[in-house]
């Protein structure tokens, strides 16, 4: 289906796990958005923090993904638009007694909307995170309120992750 969508110049966003994830990556989806557990299963090791998630994005790129977002639940989300671009991480929003049901789907919808609007990297991650968080406080999964998304998007803190190679280059230049 991913290959067929690309024939018709359609963007493909993938949220799946296990063998389906591995097989779908071969078709080069435009975005893959596993959660922490799905990404850990793919990698074969646990994801303890955002730095580990950022390192793992390269494995998804190597497998065929064009863009990678890894949702870390209460620890936020990591996103990298391309294999050569900087990665970004957002801090989680404080939402009490959240059911995670549908939050990944809502975040994926945020990425779709951001792509359609042509948002910057920071704005894209901010919107996706706000959509997932708004799902948490919704009266039922998938019943996201647009006002909550707008309000929460203003509260999402996003920071750029400088790749280790860049850190080394900066250190060499400083000497």
Q: For residue 161, name the pLDDT band (cuts at 50, 70, 90).
A: confident
Q: Decide which of 143 and 167 is more confident.
A: 143
Evaluate if residue 50 carries a pLDDT over 50: yes
Find, among 53, 76, 43, the residue nearest to 159 by Cα. 76
Interval 79-101 mean pLDDT? 84
> In the predicted model, is pLDDT for residue 163 greater than 90?
no
Q: Which of 62, 105, 121, 148 is catalytic?
A: 105
Closest by CA to 69, choosing from 39, 40, 91, is 39
Do 129 and 77 contact (CB within 8 A), yes or no?
A: yes
Long-range CB contact pairs, 114-118, < 8 A, 24+: 115/11, 115/30, 115/31
pLDDT confidence of residue 127: 95
Q: Is 105 a known active-site residue? A: yes
pLDDT at 98 > cutoff 90: no
The pLDDT assigned to 171 comes to: 38
- pLDDT over 70 at 108, yes or no: yes
List domains and CATH numbers for the chain.
Answer: 2-160 (3.40.1190.20)
172, pLDDT greater than 80: no
Residue linked to tokens 């596993």: 34
Q: Stretch 29-52: mean pLDDT, rounded?
A: 93
By CB neighbour count within 10 A (0-12 exposed, 13-18 middle, 19+ buried), where does 25 fall? buried
* The pLDDT value given to residue 170: 35
Indicate the range of 17-31, 54-68, 69-83 predicted with least confidence: 69-83
Q: What is the mean pLDDT of residues 149-161?
A: 91
């Amino acid at each position: 289906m991913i290959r067929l969508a690309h024939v018709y110049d359609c963007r493909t966003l993938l949220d799946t796990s296990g063998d389906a994830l591995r097989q779908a990556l071969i078709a080069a989806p435009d975005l893959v958005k596993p959660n922490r557990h799905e990404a850990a299963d793919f990698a074969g090791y646990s994801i303890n923090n955002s730095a580990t998630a950022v390192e793992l994005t390269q494995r998804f790129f190597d497998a065929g993904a064009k863009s990678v977002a890894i949702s870390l639940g209460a620890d936020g989300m990591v996103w990298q638009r391309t294999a050569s671009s900087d990665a970004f991480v957002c801090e989680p929003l404080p939402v009490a007694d959240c059911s995670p049901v549908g939050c990944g789907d809502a975040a994926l919808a945020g990425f779709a909307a951001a792509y359609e609007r042509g948002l910057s990297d920071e704005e894209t991650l901010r919107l996706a995170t706000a959509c997932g968080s708004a799902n948490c406080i919704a009266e039922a999964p998938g019943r996201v309120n647009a006002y909550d998304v707008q309000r929460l998007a203003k509260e999402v803190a996003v920071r750029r992750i400088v790749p280790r190679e860049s850190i080394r280059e900066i250190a060499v230049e400083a000497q």
